[in-house]
């Protein structure tokens, strides 16, 4: 089982809302996931980004790999915590 940290799209048409989830790579994008790790709402200013960095670190320590977009959002969350 290859675990990926990725975004799952929710929300209405033309009003996306994303959940950051840990999911088996074989599951559909918006389908079943193992654990919800945060959320991201790009439709409001400033963008609403909430990430559980402790759980992200746990999943990465056991071999989960983030998607490109998830990695960018995780880095943004870490930068906001440090400053």
End-to-end CA gap in the chain: 36
pLDDT at 1 over 90: no
* Helix, strand, coil fractions of the chain, as percent rounded to 5: 30, 40, 30
Is this model's pTM higher than 0.85 or not? Answer: yes
What domain range is 29 assigned to? 3-82
Structure confidence by residue, pLDDT tens digits, 22-48:
999 998 888 899 999 999 999 998 888
Domain of 40, CATH number, reads: 3.30.1320.10
Which token pair is 25? 């790579």
Kindly tell me if the per-residue pLDDT of 12 is higher than 80.
yes
Quickly count: other Cβ atoms within 10 Å of residue 4's Cβ.
Answer: 19
**Measured distance CA(61)–CA(41) in Å, rounded:** 27
| Domain count of the fold of the chain | 1
């Amino acid at each position: 089982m290859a675990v990926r940290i990725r975004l799952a799209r929710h929300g209405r048409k033309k009003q996306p809302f994303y959940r950051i989830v840990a999911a088996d790579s074989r599951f559909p994008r918006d389908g079943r996931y193992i654990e919800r790790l945060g959320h991201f709402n790009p439709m409001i200013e400033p963008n609403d980004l909430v990430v559980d960095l402790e759980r992200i670190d746990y999943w990465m320590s056991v071999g989960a790999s983030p998607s490109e977009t998830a990695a960018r959002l995780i880095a943004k969350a870490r930068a906001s915590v440090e400053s």
